[in-house]
Chain A
Amino acid sequence: MISLEESVLQGDRLALARLLTRVENDTAEGRAALDALFPQTGQAHLIGVTGAPGTGKSSLVNQLALQFRKSNKRVAIVAVDPSSPFTGGAVLGDRVRMKDLSGDNGVFIRSMASRGSIGGLAQATANVVQVFDAAGYDIIMIETVGAGQSEVDIAKLAHTTLVVEAPGLGDDIQAIKAGILEIADIIVVNKADHPGAENTEKALKSMLELAHPTQRIFAHHGKYLSAALPIETKNNIWLTPIQQTIATDGKGIDELAQQIARHGEYLHLSGDWAVRERARLESELEAALQSALMNQFRERLSEDQFNKVINRVFERSLSPSEAVNVLMNARLK
């Protein structure tokens, strides 16, 4: 019998959907398939789309996918919505905005619940993306949960991160400056037809100018000198552009797609693509190692030993850091 991952490589959509479920549930079969598919990955352009709830991320993803389809690129969309912290259930509603994409075999949309993960993605999102990558999708868009300030995991996963803003989110734009805007490769001011779009763009622009190493000219002894960065790095600077869009009618989408393509080119030219890939794989490996070590440690430590130490901490006869020392040196069963 042909294996699930082989069917996926042959373009079987049902097999792909089923494999995604196994990977999302982290089953042994899913892990084995990931191992087998791993050599085929690393081809797709991963585009992250994040921003506050209601800024229009899903509509934007819908429009971008239509745009990419014009150049015949195969598009996968991974849309993450939050799980209830109480029941573990979820309503995943991103597809509502993506009706235009149905009936097109070059598009595959998969909704994911965050399942308790707090970084804006689900634990298994990176693995799900890997499956799409191996299955030959050229562009994979990852839409995060509606993000506030610190849901920045997407920047680790994506090659190009779009942060979506909308006018009218208030003058407290200051508040979001520190976290999420820092990860933007491209800032999108969506709902540009709403009042206040110009002000939003202006505020974002002034924030960006503070952060960027812009080329400045200084007058020195009557002469103008360039105090820019060393020449060899000059081409390696990406200045985060701001793009206005109206996702409901497609305005600005063409330009946004061009910015994304330009960022992809920049990543390749500057060598940043490889740097990001490496950093991503490193952090994924680290996380996997961490959970494997933890599991191994737990398995080899009896519950009894563990409880004894906890009791001593509870009685205040052992500090938590001393307890860690005791546990690390405990005789493992």
Chain B
Amino acid sequence: MVKRQTTLVQERTTLSDKKIRVLVAKPGLDGHDRGAKVVARALRDAGMEVIYTGLRQTPEMIAEAALQEDVDVVGLSILSGAHMALAPRILDLLKANGQMNVKVFIGGIVPDEDIPRLMEMGITGVYGPGASTEDIVKDIKNAVK
């Protein structure tokens, strides 16, 4: 009886402890990670746990980190224009690893005409210059609900 109650108490605290885990990664060769850092910081301030992996990640490295860290969300910063090549590769690898529930967001320089195709592939959101971090936070919270 007592044991059951104890478990209930622990269960209650657990619910509030469940953190959204986000991998922020920069695939490709461009060396500008200011935006990724700004987003990482904003997500931190929104109470998320952000795993930051830094520059020049291959899709394989990103999928591996997403697996090991059991993240809910992957945020990709792509400024090089290679998004149409990188995004499907990363989505495929995540799927191959059994992580089809992971939501993938892209931030960076993406021409408007590419956005519908990216969404079709399974990207959850795309953000360009001037996007507000509040929107990003809100969208992530909605996506992992």
Contact = CB atoms under 8 A, between A and B. Distances in A.
Interface residues of A, number: 36
Nearest to A113: B49
A14 B97 contact: yes
B75 to A, nearest CB: 12
B98 A14 contact: yes
9 contacts: A27-B14, A87-B46, A89-B44, A90-B49, A92-B51, A99-B57, A102-B65, A103-B60, A109-B68
Interface stretch (A177-185, A210-218, A276-284, A293-301): A293-301
Nearest to B48: A89
A92 B24 CA distance: 10
A26 B14 contact: yes
Nearest to B45: A87
Interface string B3-22: 00111011101100111010
Interface string A72-106: 00000000000110011111110110010011000
A21 B72 CA distance: 11
A299 B44 contact: no
A295 B10 CA distance: 8
A92 B64 contact: no
Contacts of B14: 25-27
B85 interface: no
A-side interface mostly: mixed
Contacts of A296: 2, 5-6
Given A89-B48, A92-B51, A102 B6 contact: no
Task: Name B's interface SS.
Answer: helix
Contact of A95 (B49, B52, B97): B52
A87 B46 CA distance: 7
A168 B43 CA distance: 34
Contacts of A299: 2, 5-6, 9
A69 interface: no
B-side interface size class: 35 or more
A288 B65 CA distance: 31
Given A17-B67, A25-B14, A99 B52 contact: no
Contacts of B67: 13-14, 17
A13 B64 CA distance: 10
A115 interface: yes
A99 B56 CA distance: 10
Interface string A101-127: 011000011110101000000000000
B103 to A, nearest CB: 16
A298 B9 contact: yes
A89 B6 contact: no
B47 interface: yes
Contacts of A18: 70
The 5 closest A-B pairs by CB, nearest first: A89-B44, A96-B54, A17-B70, A102-B61, A89-B47
Nearest to B99: A14
B20 to A, nearest CB: 9
Contact of B47 (A87, A96, A103): A87
